[in-house]
Copies of this chain bind each other. A is one copy, B any other.
Amino acid sequence: MRIAIDGMGGDRAPQVVVDGVVMAAEEYGYDIVLVGDKTILRRELSRYKRYPDNIYIEHASEVVAMDEAPAVSVRKKRNSSIAVGVELIKSGEADAFISAGNTGAVVCSATLGLGLLPGVERPGIAIVFPTFKGVSMMIDVGANIDPKPLHLLHYGIMGDAYCKFILNKQKPTIGLLSIGEEATKGTDFVKETHKLLEESRLNFAGNIEGRDVFTGRCDVVLCDGFVGNVVLKVAEGIGGAITKLLKSQIKNSPLAKIGALMSKPAFMRLWRDLDYSEYGGAPLLGVDGNVIISHGSSTPKALKNAIRRGAEFKENELNKRIVEELESY
């Protein structure tokens, strides 16, 4: 197993990436290829007196900035850590590629560089998150902001395969995000998608509303990439706001402060349960290769988990399964 990871991508790259890579190399024993400027990456690795010898560096002379326009960066920076990482999958030198860098650039680079799976018209970013009933996923959260109903059907089929072969769910339920449960609710796009899903062989649970996204009511929640991206960031924003408010409330009351210290282990478990980034990253479904997009603010542990996830996709031949499922429709 050989996993490539973008050494230059993320808000605190390359430090955080290198830390995650060292953890993963020790824990899993895979060959791990850090992609990026070799001088910088060597210097980062040298912070460790001794690091596992299953870590390799693949030089890439350019870096795509987090706020750079994706299409332009892909065209102009042929030697970016993202482009080189994608190339490593294409040539078979790596089994998966992980990046916490510019999401748009990863989507663009992977789509152009690897092509799409037979039958797929557009890739979709799937996030996997914890709920009361185990993990669920939402597709798409930003790769395709103006999709056709057919694209969402494909996301449904890919999500279904992901649930079966990666999450080991027997008969995953697929929900369509809308503003009411009735088939008549929503935009024309949602209504047409509803019809397609209903006619499919998927275990379609109908429309679900915003309040049910994070309760685990469905295993897969489908939506267009604009709505999915907004929902994801709203959830992140609320998480951050609640943490901040709790801290300020507690700071103002000595009694609450003592109480909070006593409750801390319970709260830490809660935060861990809610921290979807711990799942490791968001698979880019539909491209012909195992690509995982991690959050820009990923911790070393999250990146370590993303590396594990990439290996799982290879082990379970996720893309082969997806192609089989798509062909059977």
In the assembled complex, the CB of A191 is this many whole angstroms from the nearest CB of chain B, namely 11
Is A187 interfacial (CB-CB < 8 Å)?
A: yes
Q: Are A179 and B259 in contact (CB under 8 A)?
A: no
Q: Are A250 and B234 in contact (CB under 8 A)?
A: no
CA A69 – CA B180 in complex, angstroms? Answer: 11
Q: Are A211 and B187 in contact (CB under 8 A)?
A: no
Contact-residue size bin, chain A (C-beta under 8 Å from the other chain): 35 or more
Q: Are A69 and B184 in contact (CB under 8 A)?
A: yes
Q: Which residues of chain A in 200-223 are interfacial with respect to chain B, using CB atoms and an 8 Å cutoff? A: 209-215, 223
Q: Which residue of B lies closest to A255 (CB)?
A: B262
Q: Which residue of B lies closest to A249 (CB)?
A: B266
In the assembled complex, the CB of A125 is this many whole angstroms from the nearest CB of chain B, namely 12
Interface of A is mostly: helix
Is A195 interfacial (CB-CB < 8 Å)?
A: no
CA A255 – CA B266 in complex, angstroms? Answer: 9
Is A320 interfacial (CB-CB < 8 Å)?
A: no
Q: Are B267 and A249 in contact (CB under 8 A)?
A: yes
* A interface residue numbers (CB < 8 A to B): 67, 69, 131-132, 142, 145-146, 177, 179, 182, 184, 186-188, 190, 209-215, 223, 225-227, 229-242, 244-246, 249-250, 252-253, 255-256, 258-267, 269-270, 273-274
Q: Which 7 A-B pairs have the closest CB atoms?
A: A259-B262, A210-B233, A211-B237, A259-B263, A256-B266, A210-B234, A249-B266
A-B pairs with beta carbons under 8 Å apart, 13 shown: A132-B241, A177-B230, A179-B226, A187-B226, A210-B233, A213-B237, A215-B237, A231-B231, A249-B269, A259-B260, A259-B262, A260-B263, A260-B266
